[in-house]
Amino acid sequence: MVVVQGEGTWQNDICGLALVQVFFRQGTYADTSITLLQSKAAKKNLRPVIQEPLTAARDSLAELPEWSKQSIAETIEKTADSFGINMGKLGQPIRVASTGGLVSPPLDVTLWLVGQKRTIERLDHALHLIAERAQASS
């Protein structure tokens, strides 16, 4: 099943599937051991100020009993709301952590395709980098 965006909703589409597959195969998104993040993306988005909300999002995503696009989107939105930040302030660091870069398909689709286990591993790696950065600056 493939999803593409159409007028604000997601619909099944064979062309969309092909585009998403190409996107994921061209980058580090399919790499099960992603450890390298684009330095510009990491520097801008993986900062100590986002550590607490990102940790909360990571924990909530890890506890999801069902890994679906809807549950992922709702979890991230609820976490952002609980910290009084907009979706982009939390979503972009999650995108950088999960893909290594600034551009991907919509975040819920990206995380759904990366999978729960790998998403959590990548968020853990990003949180480790943030902790190192915070320690180095103090």
Q: Which residues of 58-68 are buried (b: 16+ CB within 10 A; e: fewer)?
A: bebbeeeeeee
pLDDT confidence of residue 133:
87
pLDDT tops 80 at residue 129: yes
Which pLDDT value is given to residue 82?
98
pLDDT: which is higher, 65 or 103: 65
Prediction pTM value: 0.77
Rounded Cα gap, residues 74 and 91, in angstroms: 12
For residues 122 and 82, the answer to whether their CB atoms sit within 8 Å is no
At residue 101, the 3 state secondary structure works out as coil
Residue 84 token pair: 């009084």
CA-CA distance, 99 to 36, in Å (whole number)? 10
Whole-angstrom Cα distance, residue 116 to residue 113?
9
Tell me the pLDDT band of 24, cut-offs 50, 70 and 90: low
Would you say residue 17 has pLDDT above 80? Answer: no
Q: Which domains does the chain show, CATH number per domain?
A: 32-137 (1.10.10.350)
pLDDT at 49: 95
**What is the per-residue pLDDT across 67-79, written as a single tens digit (0 to 9) for each?**
999 999 999 999 9
